[in-house]
Structures are given as C-alpha cells and as structure tokens.
Amino acid sequence: MLFELLMLGRGGQGVVTAGRIFAEAALKSGLFSQSFPEFGPERSGAPVRSYVRISDEPVMLRAPIENFDVAVVFERKLLDHRLVEMIRSGGLIVVGSETPVEFARSDIKWFYVDARKIVEELNRPRSINLAMLGALCSVLHLVPLNNVEEIVRRRFGEGNAEVVRRAASRVVEVEAAA
Amino acid sequence: MYNLKTARLMTGNDAAAYAVKQSDVDFISAYPITPQTIIVERLSEYVASGELHAEFVATESEHSALSACVGASLAGARAFTSTSSQGLALMHEILYVASGLRCPIVMAIVNRALSAPLNIHGDHSDVMGSRDAGWIQIFAENPQEVYHYLIQSFRLAEHPDVLLPVGVNLDGFTVSHSSEPVEVLEDSVVKEYLPRNERPRLDYYSPATFGAFALPTHYFEFKVEQDKTLRKAGEVLDEVAAHYPSPEGRLRKIDKFNEDGRIAVIIMGGTTGTLRYAIKSLRFRDFSLISLKLFSPFPSRELVEAVSDADAVVVMDRSMSPGAPLHPLASNVATSLYEAGVSVNLISVVYGLGGREPTIKMVLEMFEKVREIARGGGKRLSRLFLGYQGDGL
C-alpha cells in the first residue's frame, strides 16, 4: 500500500506543519510516512503545497508527487480544474468552504468543512491547518483522529485540540447531483 | 528494520543536528545557506539551551567558518560545520588546508547546484567541485542514514590512522527537508562509541608546528603521504563501522540491491530510493542497484566486483564535468574497470541538475532505453541525459 496526499493552502497557514503532523500521526499508528514541502522560496499568502506519503513498508520513493489519492485544499479559491484532475480515481478531496463545493468529478468523494468559522468560534485564527487536519482524519479513516489530536495537544495545547475535534464533527460530504 | 514505536519523524537536517549534538562536539562554526541553514540553526538552539556544551561561532562567511574549525581542530577540539553550494565553493581554499593539516573536522554538505544560473535546489556540483580536496566523502540516501553516517564520521575522522576531515553529503531539499522516520541511539551509547583520542595538537607546554612551509624538497612527499592515508581510510572505515552499535546503520562502502539483476545501476544520494522503488514495485527485476555510500576514497575493488558480470553498467551522475571525457562518478567507475581489465557496456547518465528530481515516468523511460542499449550488446560507451528537455543530443 502506498498512499499519497496533497495539502494546499497559503504561506502562513501552516500547510507544511499540517503535512508533518499527519505524517507523525501515521507513524504513531504503526505506518511508515514521509512528508515534504514543495521546495522553493515561499511568500506569505502565496499558494503553498506540502505532500505526505504513507505506506505499510518503508517509503523509499523520493520522486515528486504528480498524482495523489487525497487533496486537502484549505480555501475554495485555491481549487482549480488541473488540481482536481490530479486526484486518483476512488480518491477524495476535502475543501475549506462555507458552502458545498461543486461536484466536478464523480469518481472521487467530495467533502467540505467551514474551517474559517470553526477557528473563529474557538478564537484560534491561525489554526486553519488544524481544522483541515481534523476534517481529513474524520473522512479518510487511515490515521486515527486521536493520534492527530494528541500531537496537536502536546504541541499547541488543548484549545487547538478542540479545533481538530470540532472540524472532525463538522465535515460534510457533498452529495452527487441527481 | 525500523521500530515504528520508537522512531521519530525527522528531516535530514533535523537528523544531522541531532547526530552532531549526540556526538558531543566541542566547536561549531558556520554561516547560513539554503538548504543547510536548519542544521546550524538547530545546533545553535542546542547550545543556547545548554543541551550541548560547545562553542558556537557565527562567522561572516563560509571561508571563515571553516578556518575557525581548522583552528579549533588543531587545538584538539571536535569541530563541526555545515554548508551547501556557494558556501562550499567559498571554503575551497580551506578545504585543502583542513585535509593537509590532518584536521578531523566533520562537515554536513547539503548538496545544492552552483550558480550561474542561480539555483537553490539539489545536485552534486558543489561537492564534485571539491572532490580533489583530500576529504573523505560519504553519501547518505535518507535522514536515517544521515544520522548514522555522521556519528560514524567522527570516529573515522579521529581514528589515529586517519586524522582527515569527512564530508557527509545529503541531497538538498529531497533529503534535507523531507520528514521521515528516524531511529536514534541513546546519548550514552553514542558517547561510548566516540571516545576522545589523544592526537597531535597545539599545546603551549609541548610546542609543535602545524602548517609549516614545505619547499620543493618536501611538498611532494607530504602530498603522496596524504593520498596514501586517504586510501587507507577505506579499510579503517570497515573497522569503525563494525563497532557501530546499530548493526543496520553501519556504513558500508557500497550497498547492493536486487543483486541478481543483469543491468547494474550505480548511483549516490537520495534518488537511489526512487530507483529501489521502481525495481521492487514496478517490476524492473532485471536491474540491480549499487548505492555508493563512499565516494572518496573510491571503493574501486568493491565496485568492480559488484558489476563485472553485468550485461550493462549504468552510472548516474548528478553533476557534470564540462569538457571532460566523462562525468565525475562515471569517470571513476570507468577508470576502476580499466585498471581491473574489465570491459563492459557502459552507460553514463546525467540526471537531476538544479533539482530536476527524476519522476517515476522519467525513471521508467530511462530503464527502457537502457534495456535497449543492453540488448544491443557490445562494449561501448553511451551517454544519456535523464529529463533533459533541450535538443541536440
């Protein structure tokens, strides 16, 4: 099993940290993992990508990730056609959005979570990445939510662990149009 | 094999800094440069928090950083520095001083392309520009190897029969910035593995001269002696590795994978992992892989043994020697084969310049092309450029 994931957000939203936490949580659940940012100079506010590979055997592969099983897109505005095409059939996408996202491909599952609202409710404006992680764990069933929550609690405190939990309970699947 | 319960997620740079901390260095001097910066950043934090009792000297250039390490090393300190690309180029002059004065300095070299054009991404141009500086050069594939090889490097460098500087190379970004499981040893185990040996050093009460002027009457002998010592360091390495407390982390000169493959691929550094994956998971079982961990002194005998029966030998260089008959690694392999009287179908492949990390598709295309050349038979030299998009080849 080799599972590949993309995180897409903006510089300053903790995209790289989110990838690392997810990889760490996978490791704690007995899976091999690798996480790396898209390499290059980064600017605050500009689109930033990070990648995660998870496997039941050591991850040797170091090639760039061109197709993925899951995409986690922090903001609806960052979603584009080309990116959606890169998701493998049978995969899924989680988008940070107030309203249901359009159903552009029927061979993948679509989810959305109002991450912005959750971080506002909990007064954690910089924790969009943790909300996206919570939503991801809740719909992917590969890495237990508890593992992510525990790492977040240890590193960023109980308030942020609540961001993870709340997002996990609020993520919504988009139904296919009739 | 990894114990996932105890492994931690570390980047290549994190693993380097942690290994250096556990190696209980006395002296660190460095100047920041991408993609190496995080190593010395972490080390400065370890020193500031008191976790590591070392002198940390921030200098105004890499030339000064290595000069400071030479001074500290001659005074008997265990010295470490780290750099990349232009930083290593700026150290060039002092690289020869460090080896000529027999300073057992250890340096992490986070490989990055050289300017111009300016590029911050990974390739081996930087270290290949320094290949004749008389350092021991080791290449790691992943963060775990970075950790193990750095610790063993201190013992190798400080061995009384060696006393030479060691460079531990890791690919910029693809290894330095990739977070992966790393198993670490206990502090006390590392400490026991790295005892402090007496060695000639600057001592007020027992004066000695280091860096004396050598006229034509002596210089030649110094340089030949230095070469002999460097060559002998290969034997010492086996002994140093045999004592390393983690058996799977022991540094071997070459690592063979899928040995039954009829086409041998020789490569160094992070991209090796991608080839391992392609051979194992994508059914290219006719390829064997030789990951070269030691570039200098060059393990000619071991390499020739490993490839002499192959139908074809592919040598992958992540740098170029412009105008030369062959690129650095291929040139060393060809010379080793010639010396052993072995004639093969040799394929020189240049890849990954300026961070063009081979994709799976690129690797598969290369394998197909190499199969075709191998089927053609003969003992000739072919040249490929993997992922090159220009024309005229």
**Residue ranges of E strands in B73-222:** 79-83, 106-111, 136-139, 166-171, 180-182
Instruction: Give B289's contacts in chain A (Cβ within 8 Å).
Output: none
CB burial of residue A111 (10 Å; 0-12, 13-18, 19+):
buried
Domain for residue A121, yes or no?
Answer: yes
Domain for residue A178, yes or no?
Answer: no
Among residues A126, A105, A102, the alpha carbon closest in space to that of A174 is found at A102
Instruction: Give A41's contacts in chain B (Cβ within 8 Å).
Output: 120
Instruction: Pull the structure tokens for residue B260.
Output: 């039954």
Interacting residues of B8 by C-beta distance below 8 A, sequence separation 6+: A27, B181, B182, B183, B184
- At residue A40, the pLDDT reads 67
Q: Does A39 sit within 8 Å of B175, measured CB to CB?
A: no
Q: Name which of B13, B84, B179 to mutate to probe chain A: the one with the most chain A Cβ atoms within 10 A of its Cβ.
A: B179
B271: nearest CB among A28, A35, A62: A62
Q: Which residue of A has its CA nearest to B355?
A: A39
Q: Does B179 sit within 8 Å of A36, measured CB to CB?
A: yes
Q: Which residue of A has its CA nearest to B359?
A: A63
Q: Is the pLDDT of residue A158 over 60?
A: yes
Instruction: Give A37's contacts in chain B (Cβ within 8 Å).
Output: 177
DSSP assignment of A149-163 equals: HHHHHHHH-HHHHHH
Among residues B38, B34, B104, the alpha carbon closest in space to that of B69 is found at B104
Instruction: Give B9's contacts in chain A (Cβ within 8 Å).
Output: 20, 23-24, 27, 33, 35
Residue numbers of A between 10 and 49 with CB closer than 8 Å to B: 19-20, 23-24, 27-28, 30-37, 39-41
Q: Is the pLDDT of residue A35 over 90?
A: yes
Instruction: Give A39's contacts in chain B (Cβ within 8 Å).
Output: 35, 121, 173-174, 177, 355
Give per-residue pLDDT as tens, A106-146. Answer: 999 999 999 999 999 999 999 999 999 999 999 999 999 99
Residues spanned by the domain of A164: 2-173
H or E stretch covering A112: strand A109-113
B179: nearest CB among A23, A58, A66: A23
Q: Which residue of A has its CA nearest to B358?
A: A63
If one counts the domains in chain A, the total is 1
Domains in chain B: boundaries: 8-248, 254-385
The C-alpha atoms of residue B224 and residue B52 are separated, in whole angstroms, by 38
Q: Is the pLDDT of residue A177 over 70?
A: no
Question: How many CB pairs lie under 8 A apart between chains A and B?
Answer: 80
Could you tell me if A58 lies within 8 Å of chain B, comparing CB atoms?
yes
Q: Does B180 sit within 8 Å of A33, measured CB to CB?
A: yes
Using a pLDDT cut of 70, give the percent of chain A over it.
Answer: 97
Give per-residue pLDDT as tens, A42-83. Answer: 788 899 999 999 999 999 999 999 999 999 999 999 999 999
The contact set of B with A (CB < 8 A) is 2, 4-5, 7-9, 35, 120-121, 142, 173-175, 177-181, 270-271, 273-274, 276-277, 280-281, 355, 357-361, 363
Q: Does A32 sit within 8 Å of B179, measured CB to CB?
A: no
A34: nearest CB among B4, B178, B355: B178
Q: Is the pLDDT of residue A15 over 60?
A: yes
- At residue B392, the pLDDT reads 53
What is the full per-residue pLDDT of chain B (393 aa) written as tens digits? 567 778 999 999 999 999 999 999 999 999 999 999 999 999 999 999 999 999 999 999 999 999 999 999 999 999 999 999 999 999 999 999 999 999 999 999 999 999 999 999 999 999 999 999 999 999 999 999 999 999 999 999 999 999 999 999 999 999 999 999 999 999 999 999 999 999 999 999 999 999 999 999 999 999 999 999 999 999 999 999 999 999 999 999 999 999 999 999 999 999 999 999 999 998 899 999 999 999 999 999 999 999 999 999 999 999 999 999 999 999 999 999 999 999 999 999 999 999 999 999 999 999 999 999 999 989 999 999 999 998 755
Domains B8-248 and B254-385 alike in fold: yes
Could you tell me if A90 lies within 8 Å of chain B, comparing CB atoms?
no
The C-alpha atoms of residue B139 and residue B318 are separated, in whole angstroms, by 12
B7: nearest CB among A27, A35, A40: A27
Q: Which residue of A has its CA nearest to B352?
A: A63
Fold of B8-248: Rossmann fold (3.40.50)
- For residue A91, the domain's CATH number is 3.40.920.10
CATH 3.50.50.60 fits B254-385, yes or no: no
ipTM of the complex: 0.94
